[in-house]
Amino acid sequence: MTDWYFANLVLIQATLTGLVMALSVQVPLRMGVFSFAGVGSYGVGAYAAALLVIHMQMPALAAIGLAMLLTAVIGLLLGLVIARLAGLYLAMATVAFDLIIGVVATNGGTFTGGSTGLYGVLSDFTMPMMFILTLIVLGLVILSEHGKVGRRVHAVRDDQQLAASAGINVRRYRLAAFVASGALGGLAGAMNVMVRSTIGPLDIGFGLIVLALTMIIVGGAMSWKGAVMGAIIFTWLPTLLEFVGKWQTLLYGIIVATAAVLLPRGIHGVFVDLTRWWQRRRREPVAPPPAETAPEPDLEPLMTGPTSGTASSTSLLGGTA
């Protein structure tokens, strides 16, 4: 077991950072906010943490905390600017944000290391820290899917008018989605640079957006379980497909496309459907409310007056029958 752990340590680390990054896209998506800003925050968080360690010799946890704070604030500001957008327009705006971060990193001169990035980010970060941080974040996300907050997230995503009528401040929830996305993305990027000790523009490119989206589309967009499954599958799949050699990318693409077509709600959605099907089978049949079994009467008398109505029957034309 220990041998397996050390032999696959890099993949385990990639799974954890991939999971947190996937959550940075999934959390807003669960609130109906189609935003990829978490990927841009990943880049900002990685560079910020790297700079804090390199230039200020800051301890890892402090650097990660400050990086998360920075990306949360950036998420809030971004949300204030673009939260009114929706759907594809919002997605495009956040993709533009991600690409801008990449351009700034490339053209940041010695500050960001230019196209080669930053090296030698040596910190006191340990694997137990990484596990604990990931578990804390995962725990908070799980809590947000249950109880009052969970129900309200459903309402904000599925029906904003209904949500407002139920006393939910939709704008506040959408802004919270941007903040949470920023903080999660920042954490993922900061943790990644702590274990890799390097970060460059190529690490935060368009491919990262595709990876995050693939993880949650195939795993399932509506639950942390989907993000976990997606992160595990798409971190380990390239390694498992090494035996096919140069056809690896093609096979990877076929698997992703097939999953997207056959599992529109992701792998987690299949489990949800199976659970509901099983619950329906086990459930005692409930008699419909008594009124539902009553026959539908002829509605014409309501408009033209009943032929033998009660004393209270009144029509639009005929007065009291």
Partner 1 sequence: MSSVQPTESATPVQAAVGTPVLELRDVAVHFGGVKAVDGISLALQPGLIYGIIGPNGSGKTTLIGAITRLTGLTRGDLLFDGESYVSAPPSRLVDLGVARTFQTVRLLPDLDVARNIQVGADARGGRGATDGPAARESVGARLKGLVSGGSAPSPAVAAAIARTGLEGFERHYPDELSYGTQRRIEIARAMAMNPRLLLLDEPTAGMNQAERAEISALMRDMRSEGGLCQLLVEHDVQMMIDTCDYVFAMNTGRLIAEGEPREVVQNPLVQEAYLGRKFREHA
* Whole-angstrom distance, CA of residue 154 vs CA of residue 152: 5
Pairing type for strands 319-320 and 118-119 reads unpaired
- Which of 152, 215 has the CB closer to partner 1? 152
Length of the chain, in residues: 321
Residues of this chain that interact with partner 1 (CB under 8 A) are 142-143, 146-148, 151-152, 154-155, 158-159, 161-170, 222, 276, 279-280, 283-284, 286-292, 294-297, 299, 302-303, 312-317, 319-320
Which uninterrupted H or E stretch holds 174? helix 170-196
How far apart are CB 304 and partner 1 at their closest, in Å? Answer: 8
CB-count burial class (<10 Å; 0-12, 13-18, 19+) for 139: exposed
Which uninterrupted H or E stretch holds 115? none
How far apart are CB 279 and partner 1 at their closest, in Å? Answer: 7
- Which of 107, 304 has the CB closer to partner 1? 304
Q: How far is CA 193 from the centre of its chain?
A: 22
How far apart are CB 111 and partner 1 at their closest, in Å? Answer: 41
- Which of 149, 257 has the CB closer to partner 1? 149
- Which of 110, 293 has the CB closer to partner 1? 293
CB 79 within 8 A of CB 179: yes
Written as one letter, the residue type at 39 is V
First to last CA, the chain: 86
DSSP classification of residue 247: G
Which uninterrupted H or E stretch holds 178? helix 170-196
* Whole-angstrom distance, CA of residue 123 vs CA of residue 287: 65
- Which of 145, 255 has the CB closer to partner 1? 145
How far apart are CB 92 and partner 1 at their closest, in Å? Answer: 27
How far apart are CB 314 and partner 1 at their closest, in Å? Answer: 5
* Whole-angstrom distance, CA of residue 22 vs CA of residue 234: 11
* Whole-angstrom distance, CA of residue 222 vs CA of residue 136: 19
- Which of 16, 163 has the CB closer to partner 1? 163
* Whole-angstrom distance, CA of residue 210 vs CA of residue 206: 7
How far apart are CB 223 and partner 1 at their closest, in Å? Answer: 10
- Which of 170, 199 has the CB closer to partner 1? 170
* Whole-angstrom distance, CA of residue 58 vs CA of residue 110: 19
- Which of 198, 314 has the CB closer to partner 1? 314
* Whole-angstrom distance, CA of residue 244 vs CA of residue 237: 12
How far apart are CB 207 and partner 1 at their closest, in Å? Answer: 31
How far apart are CB 295 and partner 1 at their closest, in Å? Answer: 7
